[in-house]
Chains A and B, each alone.
Chain A
Amino acid sequence: MNDIELIAQLSVISDAQAGHLVSDAARADLAERIMAVPVAAPRGRQAAERGRWPAVGRSWRRRRWAVTAGAAGLAAAGLVAAVLAGTVGSGGPRPNGPAVVGAQALAFVRHGRYIDVIVRNPLADPKKYRAEFRAHHLNVSLELIPVSPSLVGTVVYFGGSGTSAIRVITARGRCFTGGGGPICPVGLRVPVDFRGDAQLVFGRAARPGEKYESTASSTAPGEALHGLHIQGRHVSAVLVMIARRHVTVAVYHVTTAKGGELLRPGKVPGRWWVYGADPWAPGQVMLWVGATRTPPALGAGNPRTPVASPTPPASAG
C-alpha cells in the first residue's frame, strides 16, 4: 500500500456516503435560499466583491494563463529585470550576494489611481514586504521562492481576496517560460484604493544546492537542458549528454503502471528509457525514466480497485 492509499484511508466519508446524509428536500431548500439572494449589485461593488477568485474580470482562462505555465513574471521590464538580474539572476552575482541592504525592498511608483509595485530586493524577508505594502495601506503579502532559471522574476502564485483588482502588467518578448508564450507579466499595478487581501508569490534564483519550489520544463530556453533531446533515449546516453552541461541527476522518477516511485542515482539501469526531466536544484535534475520505451499507461494491466471510496486510482507524483 503506497502513501497515497494510506492517506486515502483517512477520508472519513465518501461522496456517496455524504449524499445519503442529506435529504433531497434539504438540498433543494439550500438552493432556493441561495437563489433568493439578490445579485444585482452596482458594477463597482460587484467587482469589489469578486474577491477570492483572482483575476475574475478576465476570468478562468485568463487567470490560468496568468498564474500557471506562463505565470510569468515580474521579471519586470527595465527596472525590475535589472534589479533581479543584478541581485539574484542566474547570470549575475551570487544569489546571496549584495542585495539592496537597508533600502526599501519594494519600489512604489504612483500613476494616477494606480501604484506600480516593483521588487527591488528579492531576498528580503516577506515581513518586510508586508510592512512596506502596509505602509502604503495595501494588504498584500509577498513571498519569493527559489525557482528554476527561466522562471526567475515570474509570478508563481496569485491568490487571496480582491485580487481581481490587481493587474499584472505584461510585455512581449522579455521572458521564456517554457509554455507561457512570448507575452509575460512584468509588474503589478494595484489600485490606490485596493482593500482586498492578496497573496503573491514570485520566483527568485535558487542558492547553490537549494531545491527549486517551482520549475519550468528543463529543456525550456534558459534552463539547464535547453536544446537537448533526451526523451526516448537510454538513461546511459542521457547521462553523458547532461554531464557535458555539468548537470547531474538528483533523483530518478520511475514511472510504472501504478504511478511511480523515486530511486536514488545508481539504482537505475542504463538501458532504461528517459521520458523527461524536471529541474531539481542548480545543476541538478529529476529524470523521469522507465523500463519501457514509452511510459506505461496509468493503471494498465492493473485492475485493482480503489482502497477507499471515493478515491479513484490516484496518479502518483
Chain B
Amino acid sequence: MRHQRSGEPADRRRRFEAIYATNCVPILGYALRRTANGDDAADVVAETFLTAWRRLDDVPPGGEARLWLYGVARNVLANHRRGERRRSELADRLRLDLAAAGRDRGYPDPAAADGTDLAAVAAAFRCLPEADRELLALVGWEGLDHGQIAAVLGCSRNAVRIRLHRARSRFAAAMADQPGPRRPGQRRSALAQLTNGDTP
C-alpha cells in the first residue's frame, strides 16, 4: 500500500516541500545532537531528505512522517559510523551556515561540561551500548513516547517498553559506577536503587 501517489512532478514537489518545511528543523536538531560537528550533521540532514524525496510515496502522512524521517536519519548515522560517509554537495550551503554558527557558538561537549554533574551523566551515558543510548535519547532528547519510538525503531511498543526498562537499568548501574561524591540535588532514581540493591 502506498500512502499517496505523487506521480506528477508538481505534486511531488508540493508534497516534499510540505514534509520538508515541517520537519527540516527537527531532523537538523536530531542530527546535531548526535554528531560531532556541523559538517556531519549537514550530511545527515541532506541524505535523510534525499531519501524522502526518492521514496516520497513511502513517507507516511501527518505526524508519522517525522518518525519515518527519524528512522531514516538513524540509518544514515549508522552508515556514517560504519565509515560510509560521503560529503554531499547537496548540503554545501547548509554546511556553511552551520560552520559559521559553530565558530560563533561552538557545540557544547557534554564530556567537557563544567558541571561535574553533567560530566558524570555523560560518562555513564557513553558507557552504554549504542542501542541503549539511542533509545534513551529518543525519550530524553526527542521526547518520544513508547509508540512513537516503536515506529522509529520498527519494533513493537512492548519491545520498546522492555528495552527501555533495561536501558534505564544499565544507565543506573553505569551512574552508580561513576567515581566521586554524590552531587547535591541529585537523587538516585528508583531504578538506580533497585540496581544497587537498596531499599526504596
Contacts and interface: CB of A to CB of B under 8 A. Distances in A.
Interface of A: 1-15, 17-23, 25-27, 29-31, 33-35, 37, 39, 49-50, 52-54, 56, 58-64, 67-69, 71, 156-159, 161, 211-217, 251, 253-254, 261-264, 267, 278, 286, 306, 310-317
Q: Which secondary structure dominates chain B's binding surface?
A: helix
A33 B89 CA distance: 9
Contacts of A14: 29
A156 B33 contact: no
Contacts of A312: 143
A313 B156 CA distance: 22
Given A261-B190, A278-B162, A310-B143, A12 B93 contact: no
B28 A31 contact: no
Q: Which of A31, A217, A251 has the most chain B CB within a 10 Å cutoff?
A: A31
A15 to B, nearest CB: 4
A113 B16 CA distance: 36
A315 B139 contact: yes
Given A61-B1, A67-B155, A315-B145, 9 more contacts: A1-B186, A10-B110, A21-B98, A31-B20, A35-B13, A157-B155, A214-B155, A214-B156, A262-B191
Interface in B123-147: 125, 136-137, 139-143, 145-146
Contacts of B186: 1, 6
A18 B28 contact: yes
A59 B157 contact: no
Q: Which secondary structure dominates chain A's binding surface?
A: mixed
Q: Which of B12, B24, B109, B118 has the most chain A CB within a 10 Å cutoff?
A: B24
Nearest to B150: A68
Contact of A11 (B13, B140, B190): B140
Nearest to A315: B145
B32 A12 contact: yes
Interface string B142-175: 1101100011001111110111111010011001
B117 to A, nearest CB: 8
A267 B198 CA distance: 12
Q: Which of B117, B146, B172, B194 has the most chain A CB within a 10 Å cutoff?
A: B194
Nearest to B90: A33
A281 to B, nearest CB: 11
A30 B54 contact: no
Given A12-B32, A34-B53, A1 B187 contact: yes
B116 interface: no
A26 B100 CA distance: 12
Given A35-B53, A53-B55, A315-B146, A3 B191 contact: yes
Given A2-B189, A68-B150, A22 B98 contact: yes
